[in-house]
Amino acid sequence: MIVHLFNCSEINDIPEKTRLGQKEQLHYIYMKKYIDSVNEELHEKETLANKTRDELVRCQERISELEKERDRLYRLVDDADAKDDV
């Protein structure tokens, strides 16, 4: 899409009847560019949030695995202590 940007003197040369329409058109073009950039930023942040959420789930799973391993080792130590006491 080719966008012709008007400088102030060009806008003043536009007849009053059509000037508002062209000003509105420029306004809409700028607003569309702004909305597109906001949508792109939103997409990037959603992607980052999803990756972070996935990493959190993996970390929670790893913590759970480590807790189970710790509990297993505690039981082994307790069993060994119990055998020594007998």
Token look-up 């702004």 returns: 34
Residue 1 — very low, low, confident or very high, per pLDDT cuts 50/70/90? very low
Instruction: Tell whether pTM > 0.85.
Output: no
pLDDT at residue 17 in the model = 59
Structural domain boundaries in the chain:
19-85
* Whole-number Cα distances in Å, 58 to 63, 64, 70, 71: 9, 10, 18, 20
pLDDT at residue 82 in the model = 85
Report pLDDT digits (tens) over 3-49: 455 555 555 665 665 556 788 888 999 999 999 999 999 999 999 99
Could you tell me if 32 and 48 are in contact, meaning their C-beta atoms sit under 8 angstroms apart? no
Q: Please provide residue 31's backbone torsions phi and psi, each rounded to the nearest 5 degrees.
A: -65, -40
Could you tell me if 23 and 11 are in contact, meaning their C-beta atoms sit under 8 angstroms apart? yes
pLDDT at residue 66 in the model = 98
Report pLDDT digits (tens) over 70-79: 999 999 999 9
Output 80 or 58, whichever has higher pLDDT: 58
